[in-house]
Every structure is written in structure tokens, then in C-alpha cells.
Amino acid sequence: MTKKAFLNCYDAVLGALDRLAAAIVTASMAVLAAVLLLQVFFRYALNDSLAWGWDVPRVCFIWAVMFAIPLGIRYNAHVGIELLVDRFNASAKRIVVSLNAVLILILSAIIAYYAALLTADTWDQLMPGIPLSVGVFYASLVIGQVHTCLHVGRIAITGEPPSEHWSES
């Protein structure tokens, strides 16, 4: 398999994962907003509170953030300072981008590993308002960081930032 064919296959898999992640982020934010509005209505109009009114938005927010991180990498939307790197020639830029991607890959892999351990350790603990495991918080971190590893792995392979090699899919 040629490098170009491999990258095309890799991009297809990443594109599918990105669409799934975007759907999860969208659904999480919609549920978060709906539950918060419902909680406000219950508190101020009915002078009551939903027992699960804090746990559900917290889960949705964390899942939205964890799944948005790799999407930010995909669209090169994270904040970065390129003042120095922009002065480098093309080959030096490629080296710096690849090195940065490898370092992020290592960090993300370590985070995913420890998050997996925390997921297992906390899976038997339930949230106070809903019968859902506390491990769900850490599971989103595992999934998000593995997805992030796939994106920065692509950058490390090519030495190109996402905007230069990915077409919209």
C-alpha cells in the first residue's frame, strides 16, 4: 500500500470518527441547554428542583468538550503562536510540526491510559442525582484522547498542519 493510499484510508476513518464526534458534541450541547432551561423553569416557576438537573448537564458538558478537542485539531482551531515558526523554511516547519505532534501524541496517550484506569476504578460509583457511573466522565476522556492521538498521529506522519492536507469530508 502506498503512502497516499494509506493516508486516504486514514482520512476516511478519521472523517467518519469526526462526523460521529460532531454529532455527539451537538447532541450533548442540545441536551445540556434543554435540561438547564428545564431546571430554570422548575426552580423559578414551580419553586422546585430536578434531582438530576445538575448531573445531566455536567455529563453533557464534559462529553462535548472531550469530543470537541480532536475536532479542534482537525480544523486547526486551537490557539497557537506561530510568530517564530512562520519565519522557518518549509523543511524546518515540517520538523517542528512533526515534533510538536509527537509530543502531543505522547501526552494524549498517557492521559488516555490513566483515564482508562480511572474509568475502571470509578465505574462502581454512581452520581448522586442519576443512576449513572462516575466512570462515564473518564470514559469520555479516554475516547477523546484516543481520537486526538489519531489526529496528531496524522500530523506527525505528514509534518503538515491539518488545514494543509485534509479536505472537507
Q: pLDDT digits over 128-144, tens only?
A: 888 899 999 999 999 99
Question: Which of the given ranges, 62-66, 71-75, 127-131, has the highest pLDDT on average?
Answer: 62-66
Q: Grid coordinates standing for 68?
A: 470537541
Give the pLDDT score at 30: 97
Judge whether residue 22 has pLDDT over 50: yes
Confidence of residue 163 (pLDDT cuts 50, 70, 90): low
Region 92-118: mean pLDDT is 93
| 21: exposed, middle or buried (Cβ count in 10 Å: 0-12, 13-18, 19+) | buried
pTM for this structure?
0.84
